Amino acid sequence: MKEITFTIRRFNPKTDTAPHDEEYTVEVHEGARVLHALHAVHAQDPGLAYRWCCGSGQCGSCAMRIDGTPALACLTEAHDGMTVWPLDLPVVQDLEVDVAPYLDRISPLCSSEGAVFPTQAEIEAIKPLRECIECMSCVSVCPALKVSDFAGPTAMRQEMRLALDPRDTQDRIAEAIEHDLFNCTTCQQCWKVCPKEIQTPGKAIEKLREIANRRGLTLPRHQEVAELVRTTGRSVGKTQETFLEQVPEVIEPEGEVRATVGFFVGCMYNGRLPQTALDMIEVMRRNGIRVIIPHEQVCCGSPLIRTGQTAIVDSLKHQNIEAFTSRDIDIVMTMCAGCGSTLKNDYDTPFTVMDATEVLNRVGIEDPAPLHITVTYHDPCHLLRGQGISEEPRKLLRKVVDRLVETPNQCCGSGGGVRSGVPEVAGALGQKRGEAFESSGAEMVVSCCPFCEFHIAENTRLPVKDLMTLLRRGYEEKDRQKAAKEE
């Protein structure tokens, strides 16, 4: 047996005006789960409210926030110092939340008499979507659901599950659109907290959008983007000299070559923010990295995949893969979180794909001069969850700024075609993000994604910069200080 001390967030709406944290010390056996610890607390304090049933990860009733993240109490090991909070949903009492409104939005199968059973192939297709135990962890973290009438991840998962079932008689695509299918930002929070690891964004949202597209139900603004990609190879129109128009195919570093990478620029850095990509190139040159830039590369296809418009995606993939393999490039570097996530997760590449922050951490960088500024870092969803990258940018950032303050991670609202297709939802999420940054004490927001940077800049008074721009500034400052000393 061992003794652990931990905190539970308590709230009784009948007696409390606000939630408060209470500390408990209990004895539990080695390997005890959070649920065991709660039972031990309950023995001391029978007023503690929490739900559980199966005790084995099957019923979903014990979902709660453990150390800040939704998890099942019956499967998570208890530890000294942990915090146990209710899911971020309306609280009934203590750790019990009101899940009824969300359960009501999960459509039942409507079968007709004499309906045929699904074939083996249909059963296999349905399988990844039917494991849901309705714990509502996904619902509790969904950003779109917090600012709109979006039915939420598990309701959408069920729509796709039913759309695949030959017994079902309802029009699930029309139903999903009615329940704001296009409001999902594909931030992937739902998938990352799901105890059954159901890939709702890729396996339900994007698939429902694909069927909607085949029926001509794609949002007009998304159709315009698809037409632009089809006619120009790019998802943004030309408004200035592009990055690719400004650079040669090979950019040699200063001094010794320590690494060689191909560079996939992406539509936003190419067409809208070429200077940011040029800043990155200077950082690579400074650190001995040769950069090869095939000029025939095109849009990665992300804006099309996320919005269900996949007809020309294979040809884009083919052209991009060929651009790098024809030059025998082993490592393709991206600096747009969305492109990187797409190349890593939606492509089958014969080369390794790395974000620029991964490349710099792997090769190792010369220290820039620290800039005297306090910044906060915004994790782009497609870098954090799409590529599992959070420490690499922070390590680089700590080298170039005096102080990095953290802001709780949250989607900015720009992904999944929401910024273009449903701007009011993107705006509401951006505003929440902007408020969080402004109360963080930071003087600047730094990120690694052109979509996030554009969107956040519209929703905060703070300046928003790309990490590569800051690193370049750090090197310029270092050179300036050195020159001043030599004078």
Contact set with ligand FES (CB under 6 A): 52-55, 57-62, 72, 74
Q: Count the Cβ atoms, other than its own, within 10 Å of residue 223.
A: 15
Q: Are 288 and 256 in contact (CB under 8 A)?
A: yes
| Integer Cα distance of 59 and 222 in angstroms | 39
- The whole-angstrom separation of Cα 31 and Cα 36 is 10
Residues in a beta bridge with 24: 6
- Distance (Å, whole) CA 344 – CA 387: 8
The smaller minimum CB distance to ligand FES, of residues 55 and 427, is found at 55
Minimal distance, residue 57 CB to ligand FES, in Å? 5
Q: How near is the Cβ of 96 to ligand FES at its closest, in Å? A: 13
- Return the number of the residue (76 or 218) whose C-beta is nearest ligand FES: 76
Q: Residue 134 or residue 443: which is nearer to ligand FES going by CB?
A: 134
Q: Which is nearer to ligand FES, 137 or 200 (CB)?
A: 137
**Residues contacting 290, CB < 8 A, separation 6+:** 250, 251, 252, 253, 257, 259, 260, 261
Q: CA–CA separation, 284 vs 259, rounded Å?
A: 10
CA torsion 73-76-82-83 (nearest 10°) is -30
Beta-carbon count within 10 A of 433 CB:
24
Alpha-carbon gap, residue 322 to 297, rounded angstroms? 9
Query: 35 vs 283, which CB is nearer to ligand FES?
Result: 35
Tell the burial category of 156 from Cβ atoms under 10 Å away from its Cβ (0-12, 13-18, 19+): buried
CB of 432 to ligand FES, least distance (A): 31
CA distance 16 to 103: 27
Residue among 38 and 360 whose Cβ is closer to ligand FES? 38
Q: Is 213 helix (H, G, I), strand (E, B) or coil?
A: helix
> How many other C-beta atoms lie within 10 A of the C-beta of residue 388?
12
Nearest distance, CB of residue 138 and ligand FES, angstroms: 15
Residue 35 or 449 having the CB closest to ligand FES: 35
Whether residue 437 contacts residue 195, with contact meaning beta carbons closer than 8 Å, is answered with no
CB of 135 to ligand FES, least distance (A): 7
Least distance in Å: CB of 136 to ligand FES?
12
Q: How far is the CB of 165 from ligand FES (least distance, A)?
A: 25
| Smallest distance from ligand FES to CB 60, Å | 5
Complex with ligand FES: residue 62 or 467, whichever CB lies closer: 62
> Which residue, 12 or 58, is less far from ligand FES as judged by CB?
58
